[in-house]
Amino acid sequence: MKVSFDHQIFTMQRYGGISRYFANICNSLQEREDAECKLLVLYSRNQYIQDRQFPMSPFLGERLLKKNSNLAKWNEKYARHHIRKNDFDILHPTYYHPYFLEGLKKPFVITVHDMIHELFPEYFSTNEVYVRYKRETISRADHLIAISASTENDLQRIYNIPESKISVVHHGYQDNPALLNADDTSSFQPPFRDYVLFVGDRAGYKNFGRFVQAVKPVLERYDIHLVCAGGGDFGAAEHEMLYRAGIQHRAKQVSASEAQLNALYQHALAFVYPSLYEGFGLPILEAFRNNCPIITSNTSCFKEVGGDAAIYFDPYQVEDMTKAIDAVINSKELYGQLRAKGTERLGLFTMERCMEGTMEVYRKLV
């Protein structure tokens, strides 16, 4: 069985959950005897696939395709050329742009990661064209992979997709040896001894504003700090938000590498994930992997992934969030229980299980 993956997410992301998902699937396919994997990528800066040889060398890629607009243009041309050949059994596009439909004569599968744009349009630009692209590709796909039952339910509710056309295949956690081996963390130390960890983007539905209000009394009560990993430097509005909360000196943003992020999880008092909605929530598995207690929202997919290995709160209620964070920080017994349960829970989300479900979908269409 020949499976091709197009360039889209590997052009768009240098790091990120979706590109990591596809890189893991490609790596797993390469290890199988019953499948072949091909990336339709001329050149990419994505860190999860840097162990591959691209048709264009890094020397030329960094000189000719330095601008992201040029990178996208030539990667699309390259992918179009190969898609028109139809020299594969399945096409698995990595995002929603429908360019690949022209000339495609083989079945294609779309993985739907979430329905955030459809459920929370107020947090996105009114000119967001990918909402239309997504609807078009989903409606024409031969089959859909939903990364959680929560996302499957949203698909059925919003687009009226029949259940027979959707397969739920959870993410499988897999370390990336290339990134971990490339990192030198011998001199890396978390910025504080005792801290609560927030990971990723902080805008809109990520609910950072309510989180700041909720964590403030806990930081002050126990004389601890807040570390925000990734998501870029604090912006002017965020600095002001932290200043008004009186915790500007207790908070620090860290642009962490893969290994450094693991270290931040390992030393944190807890990882707090206050998002209003996620399609799966990969940081939950990252926290499990690094024995970090999880405190998270009780909406969408969180309980489906976290099970009894996390503490939950209503993400719209600041007081409820504060109580949940305080309960973990204040109890060594609960802290230990969550760490033990997290290690056990991670065993439900292996790459082997993810690939079993993915291969089952591919076989249905060949």
* pLDDT tens, position by position, 254-293: 999 989 999 999 999 999 999 999 999 999 999 999 999 9
In this chain, the answer to whether the domains covering 2-172+350-365 and 180-346 adopt an identical fold is yes
pLDDT for position 38: 97
Q: Does domain 2-172+350-365 have CATH number 3.40.50.1360?
A: no
Q: Write down the pTM of the prediction.
A: 0.94
User: Does pLDDT of 182 surpass 70?
Assistant: no
Q: Are 238 and 211 contacting, i.e. CB atoms less than 8 angstroms apart? A: no
pLDDT for position 26: 96
Q: How confident is the model at residue 353 (pLDDT cuts 50, 70, 90)?
A: very high
207 DSSP assignment: -
Mean pLDDT value across residues 301-315: 98
pLDDT single digits (tens) 189-205? 999 999 999 999 999 99
**What is the C-alpha separation between 177 and 159, in angstroms, rounded?**
39
pLDDT single digits (tens) 76-122? 999 999 999 999 999 999 999 999 999 999 999 999 999 999 999 99
Using alpha carbons, select from 339, 325, 346 the residue that is nearest to residue 293.
Answer: 339
Pair of tokens at residue 193: 């001894």
**What is the C-alpha separation between 173 and 136, in angstroms, rounded?**
30
Cβ-proximal residues to 142 (8 Å cutoff; 6+ apart), any chain: 107, 108, 109, 365
Instruction: Give me the residue spans of the domains in the chain.
Output: 2-172+350-365, 180-346
Using alpha carbons, select from 5, 1, 35, 36 the residue that is nearest to residue 22.
Answer: 5
pLDDT for position 126: 85
**What is the C-alpha separation between 188 and 190, in angstroms, rounded?**
7
Q: How confident is the model at residue 178 (pLDDT cuts 50, 70, 90)?
A: low
**What is the C-alpha separation between 70 and 55, in angstroms, rounded?**
16
User: Does pLDDT of 177 surpass 90?
Assistant: no
- The percentage of residues in the chain with a pLDDT greater than 90, rounded to a whole number, is 94
Mean pLDDT value across residues 330-348: 96
Angle (nearest 5°) at CA 311 between 247 and 210: 35
- Domain 180-346 class in CATH: alpha beta
Mean pLDDT of the residues in the chain:
95
pLDDT for position 183: 62
pLDDT for position 128: 86
Q: Minimum mean pLDDT among 13-22, 168-177, 253-262: which range?
A: 168-177
In our burial notation (b when 16+ CB lie closer than 10 A, e otherwise), range 42-59 reads bbbbbbbbeeeebebeee
